[in-house]
Amino acid sequence: MPPRDILERTFEFAVRVVNLCVALGERPGAPRRLSDQLLNAGTSIGANVEEAQAGQSRADFISKYSIALKEARETSYWLRLLRATILKDSQVLPPLLDEVEELKRILGAIVCRAKENS
């Protein structure tokens, strides 16, 4: 299978995060509050990748991808916290955790390459 475009991949990841957060948001208390945090971070990854495509400069491109990487790291945190607490037996979380780890590696490599070429 050919590698997927980072724009497509981060968008698809955001869709999966939104779907999880919709389900969590129906539960009061901690699930809803953690859902809000996850929703913000998980959808911001793709939004920053999208913005980077129209970066005004190499520095702007690097900045947007660096923010996307930070958001991926935060998303990983919220997913791990959900796995350790509210969704201990969830079958949904392992694939999301795997994908966010891959996204972190890809985004980190893009940032490193962009910095080397600037």
- For 28-77, what is each residue's pLDDT tens digit? 999 999 999 999 999 999 999 999 999 899 999 999 999 999 999 999 99
Contact partners, residue 9, CB within 8 Å, separation at least 6: 103, 106
Domain annotation covers residue 76: yes
How many domains are there within the chain? 1
Domain annotation covers residue 1: no
**Residue numbers of the domain that contains 81:** 6-116
Among 34, 103, 36, 117, which residue's Cα sits nearest to residue 70?
103
With cut-offs at 50, 70 and 90, classify the pLDDT of residue 3. low
Q: What is the CATH number of the domain that holds 96?
A: 1.20.1440.60
> Does the predicted TM-score (pTM) go above 0.75?
yes
Instruction: Report d(CA 44, CA 46) in Å as an integer.
Output: 6
Domain annotation covers residue 110: yes
